[in-house]
Amino acid sequence: MVAAKGRMHTFAMTKTAAVIGAGPAGLMAAETLSAGGVTVTVYDRMPSVGRKFLMAGRGGLNLTHSECLDIFLARYGAASAHLRPMLEAFPPLALIDWANTLGAHTFTGSSGRIFPKAMKASPLLRAWLDRLNRQNVRFRLRHDWRGWSDGALRFHTPAGDVAETHDVTVLALGGASWPRLGADGGWTTLLAERGVEIAPLRPANMGFNVAWSELFRTRFAGEPLKNVMLRSGHHTARGDAMITRYGIEGGAVYALSSMLREALAGANPISLDIDLRPDLSQQQIASRLARPQGKASRANYLRKSVGLSPMETNLLRETGTPPERLKSIAVMLTGHQPLTRAISTAGGISFDAVDDTLMLKAVQDTYAIGEMLDWEGPTGGYLLQACFSTAVFGARAILTRMTA
């Protein structure tokens, strides 16, 4: 269990906490608080918990990453200094230990990413909910938070509006990506009305639009670009990408998405350069292409000499790139996918709007955790880790304050 500094707290009088949002951050806050002796009720507007968590698990549930903490923190860019105390309080190794206690034993992939051996979220979530049930955490589903009324939390339910009062409130309402799974960003209006500073919500880890020809789009949408290097300006990312009907997406693209999004805000279109063979030097490419083509077709010649797939050969043709420049194929990005189609959300509650325990300065006894805060990170384990770490950090701060 993730108790405050490993200790169980008891209170002369039972304290109660409302956790609003039943995603990974909310559930982790509920576990930590209930393990510390607080009576916890989790509210969520959806009919079941952890919907986006389960969706993420379809791709293997990348919990965290094995790289050293300083490199890990750098992935969060401008927010890294704010997140440091939270990731130091609950680092990747602590998350791995926690998963192990739930029977979700992990392994480290070749890229350094860490996954449960089951490669899905549902077994972990079932074990987690069983633990929360044993810790007497209560769930109130189909409760849509609508702000405050006379000091009480107000919820809209199928049976009508209800008001609930608790000693402390933890907001874990997520961002606004994939709203059909629960988080829709509606909380921004409620908090802004209370004077909470909020950076505009924007898409993060999203795909980018490319004006492919109809022939290329129809034939190659869904085809992967394996082990490529992407460049834009001075920024690079290596990994896999995917051709889509609207453009391009995938892990290597997501690693550059923040920078590409900001560049598109200032100019349109922008160039994304693709190196199809990052492990070959330009000299090696030239040497291989110097071999006679003979009677081989162009496609077969490029396949045999530099290993190009039919899609890669057609990508050269689509972009008007000669084969000798396959290490620098310029693809023009004309825009990006909307927030509703993004994997995660940038923007949110400013760190200036919370104190060093994550309590809102403008709303007493109310804390904000997870993706509601103004940070973003690439895929690769960074998203879930920050959600878990901010949840544990905030919940431990609540327990410390309750026992002061």
For each of the domains in the chain, give its residue range(s) and CATH number, in order of start. 16-203+342-402 (3.50.50.60), 208-336 (no CATH)
pLDDT the model gives residue 295: 86
The stretches in the chain having pLDDT less than 70 are 1-13
pLDDT the model gives residue 85: 98
pLDDT the model gives residue 5: 47
Sheet holding 152-157, edge to edge: 144-149, 152-157, 160-164
d(CA 281, CA 89): 43
Rounded to the nearest angstrom, the gap between the alpha carbon of residue 8 and the centroid of all alpha carbons in its chain is 31
Contact 258/376 with Cβ under 8 angstroms?
yes
pLDDT the model gives residue 341: 94
pLDDT the model gives residue 6: 45
Q: How many CB atoms lie within 10 A of CB 297?
A: 10
pLDDT the model gives residue 182: 84
Amino acid sitting at position 306: V
Contact 330/319 with Cβ under 8 angstroms?
yes
User: Of 370, 368, 316, 371, which Cα lies nearest the Cα of 347?
Assistant: 371
d(CA 297, CA 253): 32
User: Of 76, 131, 72, 140, which Cα lies nearest the Cα of 99?
Assistant: 131
What lies within 8 Å, CB to CB, of 246 at 6+ separation is 207, 209, 210, 337
pLDDT the model gives residue 183: 86
The DSSP symbol for 110 reads T
